[in-house]
C-alpha cells in the first residue's frame, strides 16, 4: 500500500494512530497502543532543553538516577549527537567537569555506530569467541516472552519494556545477563526482543551491548548478583520479593555456577512461537502521482528525522519520501509504541518542510523511492548516510538507476582504526568530544 502524504497531515494523534494501525496490519505485535513518550523533533528539543544533568556522574547507574532518556530521539535522528553535545557543553561551559561523564556516555553511541560501520551485517553474528564454554540455545523462552518468569525484577523489566519502550542501562544489563548466562539463551534472541520493543532499538548500540554482556565483544562476560540489583534499583524489586533468588550469591560463586559448566543453570521453560502475521495480499504498488514534477528526491530514513538533516537542508525544492519498510516489519514486527513514535516524527517533519511534494509509503523503500523518482521525473536521489546496513543497501540498489548523492551524518569523533574496545577509542577521541584532554588522560592524543 502506498499513500500520498496529505491524508494523515491534519489528523489528531488518536485518529493518526488508528490510521497507522490500519495501514500496517501484521507489522506490530498485540494491540495498537502508543507509549507515554511522544516522538518528533519538538519533543526531542523540549526534552533536551529541560534536561538537568544534576549529579549524573554519581547517579547514572541508579535506575532513579539523572539519566536523560534522550536515546529514542537520538536513535531516530530527531536530535543529533552533535546537537546534544553542543547543548550540554554550552549549558555547563563554566563547569565542564560536571558534563564530562555524560559526554563520555554519549560517546558510547558514537563508538557503537563505528562498530556497525566497520562490521556491517557482521554485527548480527559473534564478533569474537565467547570467553566461556557454556552452550546457548535459540528461541525465546515462553515465560520470558510473556513477562512471567516468576522473578519480580525480570518481570518488572519486561513489562516496562512492553509498555513504555524505555529501560535504564542497568535494567538492560541485568536482563541481558539473565537471559544469556542464567537461562542459556543466545544474545540474538534478546537483541531481537529489544529491537522490537525499545523506542531506541537499533542495531549498533543494541547488538554491540548484547555482545558485550555475552563476551563476544568484551574480554569477559558481564553478570550481576542480587546485591547489585537491590542497590541500583533502590530496592524496587528486592524489598518485597519472596522468591528463591537465583542471583543471591557472591560473584565468585556465581562465576563458578554460570561459567564452569556446559549448560546454563536455569532450564528453558517452553519456547515462544511468535504468532504468524496475517496474510495480506500484496497490493498494487503505485505512488500517487504528484502535482509538481521534481528534479530530485530526498529519502528520509528512520535515523535522519530532522529538518536539520543535511540531505533535507540542501534540497528544499526536492520531493521528500519516507518509507515504512513493510517486509522488514513483517519479519520483525515493531511494538506499536515504536511505530507511533516514529510516525509522530514523520508527521511533524513533513508538516514543517518547505518542499513541494511529500510522500509517505509503506512497502519496499528502494522500490518505492525508485517509483516516486520515476513518476516525478527525478534523476537524482539524496540521502544522509548511516551505518545501518539497510540504509546502505537501499542506496546501493538506487544507485543502479539513479544518481545518488550521499550526505555525511553528524559524528562526535573521527576515528579510522577498527573499533575494538571503547577504552582505546576514548583515549584517542576524548579530546574531540570534550574539547580538552580529560583528567588522567595521559594517553590523550589530539
Ligand X SMILES: Cc1cc2nc3c(=O)[nH]c(=O)nc-3n(C[C@H](O)[C@H](O)[C@H](O)COP(=O)(O)OP(=O)(O)OC[C@H]3O[C@@H](n4cnc5c(N)ncnc54)[C@H](O)[C@@H]3O)c2cc1C
Which residues here bind ligand X, judged by CB under 6 A?
60, 67-71, 74-75, 105-106, 108-109, 112, 168-169, 172-173, 176, 194, 198, 200-202, 205-206, 209-210, 213
Closest distance of CB 89 from ligand X, Å: 14
**Choice between 5 and 336, CB closer to ligand X:** 336
Closest distance of CB 68 from ligand X, Å: 3
**Choice between 109 and 119, CB closer to ligand X:** 109
Pick from 305, 310, 322: nearest CA to 365 = 322
Pick from 148, 199, 146: nearest CA to 172 = 199
CA torsion, ordered 368, 373, 374, 378, to nearest 10 deg: -170
Residues 6+ apart with CB under 8 A from 92: 53, 98, 99
Closest distance of CB 181 from ligand X, Å: 12
Q: How far apart are CA 70 and CA 72, in angstroms?
A: 6
Closest distance of CB 198 from ligand X, Å: 5
Pick from 234, 175, 187: nearest CA to 212 = 187
162 forms bridges with which residues in the sheet? Answer: none
**Choice between 4 and 188, CB closer to ligand X:** 188
Q: How far apart are CA 4 and CA 82, in angstroms?
A: 33
Pick from 88, 95, 42: nearest CA to 348 = 42
Q: How far apart are CA 58 and CA 34, in angstroms?
A: 33
**Choice between 53 and 340, CB closer to ligand X:** 53
* Start-end of H helices in 120-197: 142-146, 152-163, 169-177, 187-197
**Choice between 17 and 200, CB closer to ligand X:** 200
For residue 178, the 8-state DSSP code is: I
**Choice between 171 and 361, CB closer to ligand X:** 171
Q: How far apart are CA 209 and CA 170, in angstroms?
A: 12
Closest distance of CB 110 from ligand X, Å: 8
**Choice between 16 and 168, CB closer to ligand X:** 168
Q: How far apart are CA 203 and CA 290, in angstroms?
A: 34
Residue 76 cell numbers, joined: 531516530
Q: How far apart are CA 27 and CA 334, in angstroms?
A: 6
Q: Which helix or strand (DSSP H or E) is residue 407 part of?
A: strand 403-407
**Choice between 2 and 63, CB closer to ligand X:** 63
**Choice between 178 and 324, CB closer to ligand X:** 178
Residues 6+ apart with CB under 8 A from 420: none
Closest distance of CB 226 from ligand X, Å: 19
**Choice between 92 and 108, CB closer to ligand X:** 108
Closest distance of CB 2 from ligand X, Å: 29
Closest distance of CB 425 from ligand X, Å: 12
3-state secondary structure of 205: helix
Residue 191 cell numbers, joined: 537483541
Instruction: Quote the strand ranges of 87-237, DSSP E.
Output: none
Closest distance of CB 137 from ligand X, Å: 18
Closest distance of CB 172 from ligand X, Å: 4
Closest distance of CB 236 from ligand X, Å: 17
Q: How far apart are CA 290 and CA 351, in angstroms?
A: 17
**Choice between 111 and 402, CB closer to ligand X:** 111
Amino acid at each position: 500500500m502506498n499513500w500520498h502524504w496529505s491524508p494523515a497531515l491534519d489528523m489528531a494523534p488518536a485518529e493518526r494512530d488508528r490510521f497507522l494501525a490500519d495501514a500496517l496490519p501484521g507489522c506490530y505485535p498485540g494491540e495498537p497502543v502508543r507509549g507515554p513518550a511522544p516522538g518528533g523533533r519538538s519533543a526531542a528539543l523540549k526534552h533536551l532543553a529541560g534536561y538537568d544533568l544534576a549529579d549524573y556522574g554519581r547517579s547514572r547507574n541508579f535506575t532513579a538516577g539523572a539519566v536523560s532518556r534522550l536515546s529514542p530521539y537520538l536513535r531516530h535522528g530527531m536530535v543529533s549527537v552533535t546537537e546534544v553535545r553542543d547543548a550540554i557543553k554550552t549549558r555547563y561551559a563554566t563547569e565542564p567537569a560536571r558534563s564530562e561523564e555524560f559526554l563520555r556516555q554519549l560517546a558510547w553511541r558514537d563508538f557503537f555506530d563505528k562498530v556497525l560501520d566497520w562490521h556491517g551485517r557482521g554485527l548480527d553474528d559473534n564478533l569474537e569467541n565467547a570467553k566461556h564454554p557454556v552452550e546457548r540455545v535459540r528461541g525465546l523462552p515462553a515465560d520470558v516472552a510473556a513477562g512471567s518468569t516468576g522473578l519480580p525484577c525480570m518481570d518488572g523489566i519486561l513489562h516496562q519494556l512492553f509498555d513504555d519502550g524505555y529501560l535504564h542501562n542497568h535494567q538492560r544489563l541485568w536482563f541481558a545477563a539473565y537471559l544469556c548466562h542464567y537461562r542459556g539463551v543466545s544474545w540474538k534472541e534478546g537483541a531481537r526482543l529489544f529491537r522490537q520493543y525499545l523506542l531506541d532499538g537499533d542495531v549498533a548500540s543494541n547488538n554491540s551491548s548484547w555482545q558485550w554482556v555475552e563476551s563476544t565483544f568484551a574480554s569477559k562476560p558481564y553478570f550481576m548478583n542480587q546485591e547489585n540489583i537491590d542497590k541500583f534499583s533502590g530496592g524496587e524489586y528486592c524489598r518485597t520479593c519472596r522468591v528463591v533468588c537465583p542471583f543471591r550469591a557472591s560473584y565468585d560463586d556465581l562465576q563458578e555456577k554460570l561459567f564452569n559448566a556446559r549448560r546454563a543453570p536455569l532450564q528453558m521453560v517452553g519456547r515462544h512461537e511468535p504468532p504468524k502475521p496475517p496474510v495480506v495480499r500484496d497490493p498494487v504498488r503505485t505512488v500517487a502521482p504528484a502535482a509538481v514534477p521534481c528534479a530530485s528526491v530526498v529519502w528520509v530514513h528512520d535515523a535522519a528525522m530532522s529538518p536539520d538533516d543535511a540531505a533535507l537542508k540542501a534540497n528544499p525544492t526536492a520531493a521528500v519520501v519516507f518509507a515504512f519498510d513493510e517486509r522488514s516489519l513483517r519479519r520483525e514486527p515493531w511494538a506499536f509504541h515504536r511505530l507511533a513514535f516514529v510516525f509522530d516524527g514523520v508527521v511533524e517533519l513533513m508538516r514543517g518542510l518547505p518542499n513541494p511534494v511529500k510522500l509517505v509509503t509503506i512497502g519496499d523503500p528502494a522500490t518505492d523511492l525508485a517509483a516516486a523518482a520515476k513518476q516525478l521525473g527525478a534523476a537524482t536521489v539524496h540521502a544522509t548516510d548511516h551505518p545501518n546496513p539497510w540504509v546502505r543497501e537501499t542506496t546501493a540498489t538506487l544507485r543502479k538507476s539513479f544518481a545518488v548523492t550521499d550526505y555525511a551524518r553528524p559524528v562526535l569523533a573521527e576515528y579510522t582504526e577498527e573499533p575494538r574496545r571503547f577504552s582505546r577509542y576514548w583515549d584517542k577521541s576524548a579530546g574531540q568530544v570534550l574539547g580538552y584532554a580529560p583528567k588522567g588522560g595521559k594517553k590523550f592524543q589530539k
